[in-house]
Structure 1
Amino acid sequence: SLTADSHHNQSQILWVSHNGGPFSRARFPTSLHGLDYYIADASEDQVFACVNHNATLTHLYISDASGTNFSLSLERVVYFNPKGALKDTWLRYFADESFADIHRVDGLRGIYIASQLANGTLDPDRQVTLITYDKGGMWERINAPYQDSEGNHTHCYRFMDCSLHLTQRLQQLYPRSRTAEILSKASAPGLIMATGVTNVTSSLRDHLPNIYLTTDAGANWKEVLKGQHFYNFGDHGGLIVAVRQYEMTNEILYSWNEGESWEVLIFGPEKIRVYGVLTEPGEHTTIFSVFGSRSPIHSWLIIKVNLTFVFNNIACRGDDYKEWTPSDPTEGHGRGCLLGRKVVYNRRRAHAKCLNGNDFDRPIRQENCLCLRADFECDFGFRLQYGWAPRSSNCLYDATSGVDVHRVPTICPEGGTYFRTKGYRKVPGDTCQGGDEARYGPDRLFCPVGVKPEFLLYTRRTVVQRYILGDNTTETIALPHLSNTIALEYDYKGNCIFWADISEDYIKRMCLNGSDTAEVLAEGRLESVEGLALDWTSENLYFVDAGRRVIEVMKTDGRFRRVLIDGSHNQIIPHSNSKVLDKPRAIVADPAHGSIYWTDWSTEHPQIVRAWMNGDPESIQRIVYSTLYVKWPNGLTIDAQASKLYWADAYLDHIQYSDLDGRNVHTVVSGRRYAPHPYSIAVYKNDIYWTDWMLQGILAADKTTGAGLRYIKSDLPRIMDLKIFSKSSQA
């Protein structure tokens, strides 16, 4: 159950009780006030809530399974409240009840159709219709049909900012249109009928509405009738009827082949003005009721129309049916799944002229699907950033939400575990299994044991320092005999520092447990160790020796040292003409996915390369190699929470990130003002940190947008490697 109470600034607070439990305050990731709440839908284990933020602005939010933590689903939805939103507009003369133009497609899980105000103001001629197949996780415009019912090309394409708009309650009330609303029924899965307008590049004005039908749950639409009509389904969707609006008529149109052709039946000698067409609940029969009135003197009439004769009493048999599976057309994989489940229906073939009948029981079978991006929505505190393709969109931290997505739960006992979001949550009710579940699902982390500081660790060749995050203090770590320390690593659990000195040609470790003795882990057969990477799960230390062109690995105590990848013989990466190792620089480990990554300054083929942690030659793969992105790739790090790879390039003067496979590259910071020679980078919570030789300091900015760029430390000559460590960085 839900209730709201008043708060300051005329705002309201929404309270939610889940499964009869105590009321909890609903949380919305926005700094805007909630002036009014409207529950648009509360089915399928989630709540769609319209939240009115000012006189004309209403956003749609979707809850988690508890109904208390909401994420933004869609901005600027059409919502009216006679005592609140849009109450001072023309709608107050035609509507006395609240409504939102959001249609749940009956009988199919997760599909909704919504109307969005194009410019945020109530203009019925400037709207756009959007459809979602994952319960509001992602919305897309509806593609207009290529031609109309008369065979004329519509010339309406998405790349022209043109799509199909379907009318709902707003235009049913609008005096200039008075159209019928969207029709979908559980008895006719996949069939949706609506009044709509195409050629709506900028405005609906001057475009006459027509009738549109989809038989595949909104993936493809066709215009089936010109002009405005009332319509309904019968015989489990096997029969469609329509009657013209606003005209005196005695004709009813019917189609038995899913709108491909229409036939006319005269239902009486007298023409009447029709106000609707009804059938029995369940849409099982072929009997319809037309209700209207005589004119000019108003007098109600109800006329029963029996269309059983259309099928000549021929009952459908096995060959008259086909299997049909609803699917999300934006996935592009053709897997035939909705909310992680493949459901197969038996439907009558469009050209089978036979009767389903009252007793028709539609066979259904279902199975779970592998998890993909479509099975996840943005978690609380994150919002969708649309990409070049529907499923390339990512959930990014919403800095305006005020939510600390990295916070450890208040109750988290030592030895216990908690879940840390990656920005996604599986849609409640989604039953997918395996697949990309590990990629988008939360990380399971151990609760912190004791209190350790969260800090930056950096080297200035002859000194290693630690900058404590939070209290902004700096301390020098007393490491012995530093001469030219280039690379650093740290074991958070063991409280041990690893460093490589290219002048002395060794790798050492010292644990900060009161000892002042450093252990030599590797010496001899070293020329220029420029990068260290720790796999804390298996206690392996990886390092890049640029002088010998090798990547080696050893245990954190120096045992079992061996060459993992050898580039000294000019080996070529499979399926390329690039050397495995030419001028390697930085290295980073990704234990969660069993991979290592390294950068290479190769003059001919600069690149970022990925391989399995065991160095399998067949696993070596170039993932970033365009000279638009890398020329002198220096720093390299992984944002484990967001599953992103970040790098800094000292020639191109930028910091960029991509997916872990190198796709979907984005620029965070660029230009000689803030990145004239970036060297090392690290990610901490919502920020990216980097060292820069020319600026002689440590800088930071938002890891996604580059906003909030600032100096963390300045006046740091000879600044080199940088790492960030916290209680969750090696969990």
Structure 2
Amino acid sequence: AEQMIYWTDVTTQGSMIRRMHMNGSNMEVLHRTSLSNPDGLAVDWVGGNLYWCDKGRDTIEVSKLNGAFRTVLVNSGLKEPRAVAVDVRYGYLYWSDWGDNPHIGRIGMDGTNRSVIVKDKITWPNGLTLDFINDRIYWADAREDYIEFASLDGSSRHTVLNQDIPHIFAMTLFEEYIYWTDWETKSINRAHKTLGTNKTTLISTLHRPMDIHIYHPYRQPAGDTFPQNNENPGLGRRSLSPRASLLSGSGGLAAVLLALAWVAVLVARGAVVPCLFPCGAGGIPAAAAAAAGVWVWGWLGAPPPSFHIPPSILEEHKHSPEHRC
């Protein structure tokens, strides 16, 4: 298992996509040129590819996990691409866009069969995640204030929650629960993924929490054996033979990595390190995804791990106040 974490970093000095080992070592820059405002990230753990959307360039792009063979997958019809999610089982990439024509779209991981699957009653689609067990796509709308799911083609929509969720930014799913970050309440929450019951606040923070991911073998199912093109991601439904997930579980517990971009907070042994991002008035997110992480272990019944955020991650986070939040 590679045990790597990937994140986007947007500063006044420029934008980057980086990665490092889960223990904080070997941090490296994967992309720094031809980036404007990279936002959501998604890892293809089978084919070994990294997908991201750039709301400044209005593109969805892909490269190998080491940054090689960068390719633009989508370069038209996007206004404010926000989140991306990959389904390696069927070879599809999904995205949300909160621009003039808000929608949720999908495209083959080879760049074919593009379609809009949700376009009605949707305004600011933010969080996006997949339920691999039930073949569903979940999303949250930060303007309409709801969480919904649908079949993978956008049909059979169902509302999970439509109260007390003022500004969801990101979401994920594990077993019977959905987890999300909320900018207005500055909290991390969960609820039953179908009924919306048992809504619980897990963490309250001082600043706006950004992305959230759960790392567990259940969240990284093996893909089908599609023909692959290792030298040109985005051409061919790529996959390698199924291999170990990026981070394997221990004792059946899900390790929950809550990645915070504007706030670098380490909830492990009580350490808290803020990284302030002054925000402009109105609007919704500009930059996203993981400048640092929060390991939440207490409610999983395990002691916190030893995890160090390198100082280099925390420096140069003087973000532009023009970013819409």
TM-score, structure 1 normalization: 0.30
2:251 matched to which residue of 1? Answer: none
What residue ranges of structure 2 are gaps of 5+ in the alignment? 222-325
Contact kept in structure 1, 2:147 and 2:162, CA below 8 Å: yes
Q: Which residue of 2 aligns with 1:593?
A: 90
Instruction: Give the Cα–Cα distance (whole angstroms) in 1 for the partners of residues 205 and 3 of structure 2.
Output: 28
Counterparts of residues 314-325 of structure 1 (less than 5 Å): none
Aligned residue number for residue 706 of structure 1: 196
Query: Which residue does the alignment assign to 2:211?
Result: 721
Is residue 16 of structure 2 the alignment partner of residue 506 of structure 1?
yes
1:531 partner letter = G
Separation in 2 of the partners of 1:512 and 1:720?
18
User: 166, 173, 195: which one pairs with 1:676?
Assistant: 166
| Counterpart-to-counterpart distance in 2, 1:536 and 1:668 | 29
Matches of 2:133 and 2:48 in 1, distance apart?
A: 21
CA distance in 2: counterparts of 1:608 and 1:621, whole angstroms: 9
Deviation, 1:728, is 2.2
Look up the equivalent residue of 2:119 and give its one-letter code. Answer: Y
Amino acid at match of 1:501: D
Shift in Å, 1:715: 2.5
Normalised TM-score (structure 2): 0.66
Is the CA contact 2:182–2:208 (under 8 Å) kept in the aligned structure 1? no
Q: In structure 2, what is the Cα distance between the partners aligned to 1:702 and 1:556?
A: 33
Question: Is the CA contact (8 Å cut-off) linking 2:36 and 2:54 kept in structure 1?
Answer: yes
Q: Distance in 1 between matches of 2:144 and 2:194?
A: 19
Q: CA RMSD in A?
A: 1.1
Partners of 2:156 and 2:98 in 1: how far apart? 22
Q: Following superposition of structure 1 onto structure 2, how do residues 482-497 of structure 1 map, counting pairs within 5 Å?
A: 493-497=1-5
Which residue number corresponds to residue 516 of structure 1? 25
Establish whether residue 607 from structure 1 lines up as the match of residue 97 from structure 2: no
Q: Relative contact order, CA 8 A, sep 6+: which one is greater?
A: 2
Aligned to 1:639: 131
Q: Which runs of structure 2 are paired with 1:319-398 in the superposition (5 Å)? A: none
- 1:300: which partner in 2? none
Which letter maps to 2:215? F
Report Cα offsets for 1:508-559 as digits up to 9, x if no partner: 110135x633111111100111110111110000000110001110000111
Decide which of 48, 67, 70 is 1:561's aligned counterpart.
70
Letter in 2 for 1:534: V
**Would you say 1:584 and 2:76 are equivalent positions?**
no
- Kept in 1, the 8 Å contact 2:82–2:97? The answer is yes
In structure 1, distance between residues paired with 2:128 and 2:48:
20
Q: Which amino acid aligns with 1:667?
A: T
2:149 to 643, 657, 661: 657
Letter in 2 for 1:614: D
Q: C-alpha separation between the residues in 2 aligned to 1:539 and 1:594?
A: 13
TM-superposition CA deviations, 1:638-679 (whole Å, max 9, x none):
0111111000100000110000000011111112xx210000
Residue 298 of structure 2 is matched in structure 1 by: none
Q: Which residue of 2 aligns with 1:128?
A: none
For 1:536 and 1:601, locate their aligned partners in 2 and report how far apart those are by CA, in whole Å: 27
Alignment gaps of 5+ in structure 1:
1-492, 568-579
Which deviations, in whole Å up to 9, do the C-alpha atoms of 1:350-399 show, x marking residues without a partner? xxxxxxxxxxxxxxxxxxxxxxxxxxxxxxxxxxxxxxxxxxxxxxxxxx
Give CA deviations for 1:428-484 in whole Å, capped at 9, x if unaligned: xxxxxxxxxxxxxxxxxxxxxxxxxxxxxxxxxxxxxxxxxxxxxxxxxxxxxxxxx
- Of 549, 561, 565, which residue of structure 1 is paired with 2:58? 549
Once residues 8 and 92 of structure 2 are traced to their aligned partners in structure 1, the CA distance between those partners, rounded to angstroms, is 22
Q: Which consecutive segments of 4 or more residues in structure 1 shift more than 4 A?
A: none
Amino acid at match of 1:599: S
Shift in Å, 1:730: 1.3
The amino acid that maps onto 1:557 is: N
Amino acid of the residue matched to residue 623 of structure 1?
A: I
